[in-house]
Amino acid sequence: MAAPLISPSILSADFARLGEEVRAIDEAGCDWIHVDVMDGHYVPNLTIGPGVVKALRPHTAKPFDVHLMVSPVDNWLEAFAEAGADIITVHPEAGPHVHRTVQAIKGLGKKAGISLNPATPAKMLDYLIDDIDLVLVMSVNPGFGGQSFISSQLRKIEAVRKMIDKTGRAIHLEVDGGVDPTTARQCVDAGADVLVAGSATFKGGPGCYAANIAALKGPEGVSA
């Protein structure tokens, strides 16, 4: 089994040194950079906008994995695409026509993801799975970093993995929330191939990032 891709959430980085932090996790061996965008409306927190994404883009060539926790979401797609997002992930509850939102992301030349909150069933993907590139299962309620993993989401990861396998398409299955070396193994065993980790990546400072990422990847070896 290949090691999972690791997408550190910069929500847990030192915001006073974001450019340096992005370079540090890049050099430490991360695969993607996860950018949590929150609007204080769809989720109870306020984070960063497209201007920050644009400022960070020159600091790494790694894919920017942008998770939009904003509503209405369609108004922001073009701005984040132009800022340098490679993957844009949205919640089906964040706009009136999520299929149209997916089409708009693809029309901007970006990969499209759908995020499922803990109470959002896997069945929500029934009429979207053939059009998307990524499914993000939230294993905490979105809005804040540092929360504990909700173990019931392992069943959802398993269900989504079966749905993906039936399509025969190369769709990533990502998990975000409470991911540490222990829960990372559980997520991978359930079918995840991308892990978002904020606190578990950034703990201990830059000198620890490579070891933290290696611990999340586990014994499977170098990711494909």
Give the position of tokens 């009136």.
Answer: 96
Tell me whether residue 145 is annotated as binding: yes
Tell me whether residue 36 is annotated as binding: yes
Measured CA distances, 158 to 91, 153, 192, 195 (Å): 20, 9, 8, 15
| Choice among 39, 133, 176, 180 that is catalytic | 176
**86 carries an active-site annotation:** no
**176 carries an active-site annotation:** yes
Give the position of tokens 């799975």.
Answer: 129
The residue type of 30 is C
Tell me whether residue 84 is annotated as binding: no
Tell me whether residue 146 is annotated as binding: yes
- Provide the token pair at 114: 């759908």
Tell me whether residue 199 is annotated as binding: yes
How far is 159 from 157, CA to CA, in rounded Å? 5
Helix ranges (DSSP H) in the chain = 18-27, 50-56, 77-83, 98-107, 153-167, 181-190, 199-202, 209-217
Tell me whether residue 40 is annotated as binding: no
| Choice among 31, 36, 180, 193 that is catalytic | 36
Tell me whether residue 99 is annotated as binding: no
Task: Say if strands 87-90 and 134-138 run parallel, antiparallel, or are unpaired.
Answer: unpaired
Tell me whether residue 49 is annotated as binding: no
Annotated binding-site residues for substrate read: 9, 67, 143-146, 176-178, 198-199
Annotated binding-site residues for a divalent metal cation read: 34, 36, 67, 176
Annotated binding-site residues read: 9, 34, 36, 67, 143-146, 176-178, 198-199
Q: Annotated catalytic sites, by residue?
A: 36, 176
